[in-house]
Each structure stands twice: as C-alpha cells, then as structure tokens.
Chains A and B, each alone.
Chain A
C-alpha cells in the first residue's frame, strides 16, 4: 500500500567528504508524506551532517536530494526553507534578545507579501500583515504551551521551553517536512515524554511529516514508524522499530544490548 505513494523527500546515495574524512557515505532513504521518520546512530555517525546537507548548509560531494520531486542541491538554506523544509538545531539557536512571540513571528515572515518599502513607511498593509503574523504565532504558542510567556525574552526561558519554542518557530514557516535535531536532548524523562507526545500530535492532527534525530532510544522506538541507523557515516539498517531492535548489526554498533 505505502509503496504506491510518492516520497516527499528522497535521498539517493548521499555522500560528503571533508578532506580525507568521509562523514556520510552512500546513504539512501525515502520519507513518505505524514511519516514519522527516525535517524539514529552513535555520536559522530553523521546524523547532523545529513541534516545540514538536506537544509543546504553543506553541499554533498555526491548523491541526490529530491524534495517533492525536484532536486534541492545547491539551493541556499533560506530557499530550501521557503520550499518547505524547516529545522531545529542540536545546540538551541534562538533569537535570544527577541521575545518568544517575536521568535515565532520571524518564522512566519517567510510567507510575507508586503515589501520592505511598505514596512519602512508603516503602511496599513504592513501593520495588518504583522498583526496577522502575530496572531498566527500566538496560535502556535498556545499549541506548545508557551502562550503565557509570549512577551518573555527567549534567552530567559528555561531549557525545555527553549526547545519547544524552537519547534514552534520551525512550525511557523508552515513546513511540509520538519527536521528535529535531538529535540529531547538535555530534558528530564518527564519533559521528553511530554515533548514526544506533542511531536506525535503534530503528526496525527496535522499530518506533519517529521524527520527526527534522537539519542534516547526509548523515545525513538516509541514514536517513529521507520528508522534509519547510521554508523561511521554509513547506513547499517533501515526499517520499522521491531526490525531495528533485533538487527544484529545495530545491536553491535549502537545498542550494545537488545532494548
């Protein structure tokens, strides 16, 4: 049944070399619409490098990345974001001096229709659009339980809330594909459980396609429908969680023991 669907993101033989180091070697996988896809592997396996290639930060040495049927290799990150791929960062990157609300407004800014001139002269169109952005942002903040903190400086938020805000900001770009780089890193078990519930809700209620990097095995196995495992830049296994759990190569490289 699923084989007949066209993938939203398809990665073919993706390879990148930094000098002599092959950071990612010949990785291929397809993500179908509304899928919750996991990318796992030990430290230095090349997971974040994969993200950076998909979002246009690095240019792959070889291979192809197709998003909704067309290649996105060589596009600058902002263009890729405009095409519909949004991401969060492993080490949180918020606009610290801006308020929580403003952070999310910046996310929506991508869909603007007004010009810079209209903003400089503060014409009604610019004001109206900004307030539309603001109310859309408020709605997102409600969803992520951040609405009561809307006017707080984002740098002053506690760690877990900063992570949620980053996801809210990424969602504000109304992405087709959401890339989450270790969203639960540094969270306590309860926080990470809540976060995973929200991520699953994003998918279930809005049909959001999500590609997730995660270290916490319990989290990945509980949430993702399909998983790719990287080790030293190479793909060692791919499939649904049950298959990954019992794959001898994965157990050896990453898990150490069956979970």
Chain B
C-alpha cells in the first residue's frame, strides 16, 4: 500500500519526455489558434466575435483573480482596477508612440503588453502590501476601494491646460490607429487565455504552488514552516495583476477604444462571482465559470419583457407551494423513495425537453456562440448525469425540483389572469412590465442563488479537470459491469 502511494506520487510529479511534450503542445496551441483565426473567424459576425472575446477575456481575468482569491486566499475585489491599468497604459502608449512604420504590429503589441503588464504588476505590488496586515473581509474592502479610486482618477485625469507631460488620460477615447488596422486579434486573446491557465496550472503542479495554497489554509503554520508569507502574498498579487493587465491591453486594442465604464465595480463583482461559482482555487472552475457566466449575462439580453403580474403571481405561488411542501407534508409524499422511479422518468423527460429546446435554439437568430455554448453545457450536464455515479444519484432530486417548478408555473398562469381582474391590484401595479434589460440581472442573480444553494463549494470545489479523472468517471461503469458479470 505505501509503495502504491509512492508510485502515485511520482506519477503525479514526473516529467516524462519533457521538451518533446512541451514543443508539441506549443505547436498544437499555435496551430489551433491559426486554424481558428484563418478558418473560423472570417465567417463570424462582429457580434459573435465580440461575445467570444469578452467571454475569453473574462475567463482569463477570473483565472488570474483565482490565483489571488482562490489559491492564495487573499480576498481581492479590485481586479477590475488592474484590468483597467493595463488597458489604459496600453491605450496611452499606442496613442502616443504608435507608428506603423516603426515596427510590425505584433512586435508593437508585444511591447505594449509588456508595458501594461509592468504597470499592473506595480499596482498589484502596491495593493498587495495592505494584505500583509489585513485579512478576509477587511482586505476585500481595501481592494474594493482601490478599484473605485482608480476608476475615478482615470475618469477625471484630463490634465487641464497645465498638464506637465500632457498626462491626459481623459476618460473615454479612441486609440488613434489608421482606419481598419487592428493590432489585437481574437486568436491572441485565445492564446493569452491558454497561457494564463498554463501558468496557474504549472504553478499548482509544483511545490511553489503548494506554498501559495498553504497560505490560504493556515497563514501562521505556513510562516512557521518557513514560507515567507509576505513575499508570497505580494507575489500572488503581482502575478494576478500582471495577467489582468495583459488582458486589459489586448481588450483595449481589440476594441480600439477605452472607456472607464468598462472597469466599474460591477466587473470586479462579476469576477469574484466567477471565482466563487467555479470553486475557490479551481482553475478549471474559474475558466468555465468565466466563460459561461459572461455568456449567460449577455444571452439574457434577449429575454422578453415580463408583465409584473405574471412574475408576482409566480412568486406568490412559489412561496405558498414551498409552505405546503414543508408544513403540509407534501414534500415527504413527493420525495418518497417509492416514487424515485417516477422522479427519474421526469428528470429524463426534462433532459429530453431541454435537448429539444437546445435543438430549437439552433433555428433562432441568436449568435452561434450561444448556440454552441448552450449545446456544450447541455451535453456536459447530460453526460455527467449518466456517467458519474455520484451525480447520477442527483437525478431523482432533479426530477423533484422540476416537478415543483412545473406545479408553480401551472398554478401561476391562471392566478396571473385572476390578478388582472382584481381592481385593487390593477390600481397598484397596473400594466407594469419589467424590461428585459433589467430583469436579466434578476435572472442572473437567481441563477447564482440556485447554484450556491445546490452546491455551495462552487461547481468544481477544490478539484481540477484532468484527463485521468475524465477517464475514471466514464470508465467506472464498464468496470463495475465487468465486476458483476
């Protein structure tokens, strides 16, 4: 048994044919990026590209924030600030110095990336310093303040007439580029996302990564074990900030403009949400949550307007129904073991229904990005439901939840039309309709609430995606079948 564990360890930390693997994987990455850039991108609309780019940018931001929040355990809420510094440094450098005859575009972009990364890293260093004295919520407040101060400063820094070096950040402006030339490309952002993930993943594969994790787990013990917690905490901030800065540079150059409103507190909150949803410390979780939450936020723009009466009818029914379930013992009946088969059937039917809806989605006008993402999410969930033993146990619960939602919706529709006829209610709400642009945040928040209620440790917890995990979870069934045969 001990030998087995030792062997496992060596397998986990062994290198193999290092350089061959490294070169092949880099070549693969470049190959995929080129293929993507030259084969797929030209066929995509402007909106599709924009969606994909913001999803990937947010995924990389979430992964870099995860290094600070999740891995090192320093609760930072000012990540939009680092993102902004990168964007504005890059934008300023390009508007001031860019000359297309000086050097090729990609070289210039690389130079600007370095500039943005250095500035953000410096900011990360400054913000990291309070983390030496502050923990948890206190640090969160300080970093939150940092992000907001930065936005206000940049928004108002117009230099007036007497600006010494013409330091005119001046809120929103366009990068002064020749028409039609865009030096940041979708493929660059894709490559950057992969590099960000690779850096964090590499770190966690070595003893250095364990040092960061140990600070999250117990700072006093880490220090007593010989880890300079000061150095490592500030390092986490510096790396995280530099990566966010690079994301900012790439995004600013893709957009061809910068505006302080892109870097508000909302962005920081959204990023923290992504890290928490994905599972603190999980790179896979942060990246997936980054992509899916950003796409969810965008896709909810096409939610139809909802009459207030219908929404409130559903809320009232939901509360009453929950009370009946709880107090009236209906829950026990619906949840009875004998009905498990029924609930599984309901769950399977629901999955079929969702499959049908995804199929229908492909015939709508929505962006291809949503269609692909929704299909992938559905396939992932369906596969997990049927292949992973521990998730399959959740099928009856899923069926139970679906039944409840169906009952609520069924009752709420006649109730809504009844509400319409009530004179008092007519006077109160009238024909109020909630606008889709606002309601989408309510939906977004509801999705978060449900996820947190169902799985409070985040989608991935502390786990990471690995091929062997995938192999194990899908291989297990055949093994058990063999064993029983």
Residues of A within 8 A of B (CB): 55, 57, 76-79, 81-82, 86-87, 89, 93-98, 101-102, 105-110, 112, 114, 116, 119-122, 124, 126-131, 133-135, 138, 141-142, 147-148, 150-151, 169-170, 173
Contact (Cβ within 8 A) B13 A148: no
Among A55, A77, A79, which residue has the most Cβ atoms of chain B within 10 A? A77
Q: Which of B225-233, B326-334, B366-374, B382-390 contacts A (4 or more CB under 8 A)?
A: B225-233
How many residue-residue contacts, CB under 8 A, span A and B?
A: 153
Q: Residue-by-residue, is B213-230 near A (CB-CB < 8 Å gives 1, otherwise 0)?
A: 110111011111111111
- Write out the residue numbers on chain B whose beta carbons fall within 8 Å of the beta carbon of A106: 207, 210-211, 214, 222, 225, 227
Contact (Cβ within 8 A) B227 A121: no
Q: What CA separation (Å) do A86 and B222 show in the bound complex?
A: 11
Query: Chain B binding site: helix, strand, loop or mixed by DSSP?
Result: helix
Q: For chain B, which range describes its interface: under 10, 10 to 19, 20 to 34, or 35 or more residues? A: 35 or more
The 8 Å CB contact of A119, one of B208, B216, B226, B462, is B208
> Given that A109-B211, A169-B225 are contacting pairs, would A130 and B206 also be in contact in the complex, using a CB cutoff of 8 Å?
yes
The 8 Å CB contact of A98, one of B202, B206, B214, is B214
Query: Chain A binding site: helix, strand, loop or mixed by DSSP?
Result: helix
Contact (Cβ within 8 A) A109 B213: no
Q: Which of B4-12, B74-82, B338-346, B408-416 contacts A (4 or more CB under 8 A)?
A: B4-12
Q: What CA separation (Å) do A127 and B2 show in the bound complex?
A: 22
Among A78, A112, A124, which residue has the most Cβ atoms of chain B within 10 A? A78
In the complex, what residue of chain B is closest to A153 when comparing beta carbons?
B462
Contact (Cβ within 8 A) A96 B206: no
Contact (Cβ within 8 A) A77 B2: no
Residues of B within 8 A of A (CB): 1-2, 5-6, 8-10, 12-15, 18, 199, 202-203, 205-211, 213-214, 216-218, 220-230, 235, 239, 281, 462
> Given that A98-B210, A126-B208 are contacting pairs, would A147 and B5 also be in contact in the complex, using a CB cutoff of 8 Å?
yes
Contact (Cβ within 8 A) A135 B208: no
Closest 5 CB pairs of A and B: A110-B226, A81-B226, A147-B2, A95-B217, A119-B208
Contact (Cβ within 8 A) A76 B228: yes
Can you name 25 A-B pairs with beta carbons within 8 Å?
Answer: A77-B223, A78-B228, A79-B228, A93-B218, A93-B220, A98-B210, A101-B9, A106-B211, A108-B207, A109-B211, A114-B206, A114-B208, A116-B235, A119-B202, A119-B206, A120-B199, A120-B202, A122-B206, A126-B208, A127-B206, A130-B206, A131-B9, A131-B14, A138-B2, A170-B225
- Write out the residue numbers on chain B whose beta carbons fall within 8 Å of the beta carbon of A121: 199, 202
- Write out the residue numbers on chain B whose beta carbons fall within 8 Å of the beta carbon of A93: 218, 220-221, 224
In the complex, what residue of chain B is closest to A172 when comparing beta carbons?
B225
Contact (Cβ within 8 A) A97 B213: yes
Q: What CA separation (Å) do A116 and B236 show in the bound complex?
A: 11
Q: What CA separation (Å) do A147 and B3 show in the bound complex?
A: 8
Contact (Cβ within 8 A) B14 A127: yes
Contact (Cβ within 8 A) A126 B206: yes
